[in-house]
Amino acid sequence: MTALTVALSTAALFFSAAALWRTRHGNSTLPREPAAELSSRVHQLEERSRRQAHLIDVLLSFRASELHADFGPFADLFAGSVDAPPRYMSLLSLHDARLAVREIEHALRHPEAPRAIRALLAQDDWRAHLVAATAIVLAEDASPWLDALWSRIRAGSWASPQLLASAAQVDPDFASHAAALDLTNPKARAARDALLARPVEPDWDRGDQIALSWREAIARIASADA
C-alpha cells in the first residue's frame, strides 16, 4: 500500500479497535496485548482497507477517460490515484500549482478548448468550475466565456470565490455585473463584496479571503506567463 493509505489504514484500525474494545468492555483501559478476537478484527479491517484503497485507485484511474468526452484537453487534470491526487486540487489555492497551470496552458492550445471550457462551466461540480476559472484567466482572450462564467456564478458553486476572482481579473465591467448579482450564499456574497472593496459580513467559509488571495495568485501567474 502507499504511504497515504498506510497512514489512513493505521488510523482507521486504531479507532475501530478501540471502539470494539469499549463496546465489549466499557471505558476500561485497553490491554497491553490485544485479545485474539481483537487481533482477528484488526486483520479483517486491514484487509478491507486494502480492498478499498485498490477500489479508489481503479475509480480514479477511469476518471479522466469518463470525462474526456465533455472536458476534452482538460480531462487529465481530474485523473489521479492514492499516490498522486488529481492536479486540479492545487488550483484551490494555487499553491504549488505549476504542473496544473502548465497543463491548462497546453490544453488552451487545443482546438477543443473553447467548447470544453463551456462544458466545464455547465457542470454542477465545483471541481470543473475551478479548472474553468483558471483557464479563463490564462487564455489570451476571455471574452468568449464571459457570459457562461457569469451564468455559472449566478447559478451558484462551492468555488464561487474563485469564479468571482476570475471574473474580476478578466471582465472590464466586473463592478457593474457583480453589483447587480442577487447572491443568497454567504460565501459567494462575501467574495463579491471583498472584490468590490465593500464591507464584508462575517462568513464561516472565508469566501472574502479566498477570493482576494486567489485573484492575487492568478494575476501573478498570468503576469509571469505573459
Q: What is the pLDDT, as a whole number, of residue 37?
A: 66
Quick check: 109 and 138 in contact, CB under 8 A? no
Query: Within 10 A of 209 (CB to CB), how many other CB atoms are there?
Result: 15
> 96 and 170 share a domain?
yes
Residue 25 inside a domain? The answer is yes
Looking at this protein, which amino acid is placed at residue 46? E
- CA torsion 103-63-215-221 (nearest 10°) is -10
> 98 and 61 share a domain?
no
Picking from 13, 37, 67, the residue at the C-terminal end of a domain is: 67
Quick check: 60 and 79 in contact, CB under 8 A? yes
Query: Within 10 A of 75 (CB to CB), how many other CB atoms are there?
Result: 19
User: What is the domain range of residue 113?
Assistant: 87-225
> 59 and 101 share a domain?
no
Residue 80 inside a domain? The answer is no
Residue 202 inside a domain? The answer is yes
Quick check: 78 and 88 in contact, CB under 8 A? yes
Of the pLDDT bands very low, low, confident and very high (cuts 50, 70, 90), residue 7 is very low
Residue 188 inside a domain? The answer is yes
> 135 and 196 share a domain?
yes
190 phi/psi in degrees, rounded to 5: -65, -40
Residue 76 inside a domain? The answer is no
> 151 and 186 share a domain?
yes
Residues 38-97 have pLDDT tens digits of: 666 666 666 676 666 555 554 554 454 455 557 899 999 988 766 778 899 999 999 889
> 54 and 99 share a domain?
no
> 138 and 190 share a domain?
yes
Residue 129 inside a domain? The answer is yes
Q: Kindly state the percentage of the chain with pLDDT values over 70.
A: 68
* Look-up of cell digits 485479545: 35
Quick check: 86 and 66 in contact, CB under 8 A? no
Query: Within 10 A of 138 (CB to CB), how many other CB atoms are there?
Result: 20
Q: What is the rounded distance in angstroms from the CA atom of residue 30 to the CA atom of residue 108?
A: 58
> 132 and 202 share a domain?
yes
> 99 and 194 share a domain?
yes
Q: What is the pLDDT, as a whole number, of residue 2?
A: 46
Residue 81 inside a domain? The answer is no
> 113 and 171 share a domain?
yes
Quick check: 204 and 185 in contact, CB under 8 A? no
Task: Give the total number of structural domains in the chain.
Answer: 2
Query: Residue 27 pLDDT more than 90?
Result: no
Reported as type and span, the H/E element at residue 11 is: helix 3-25
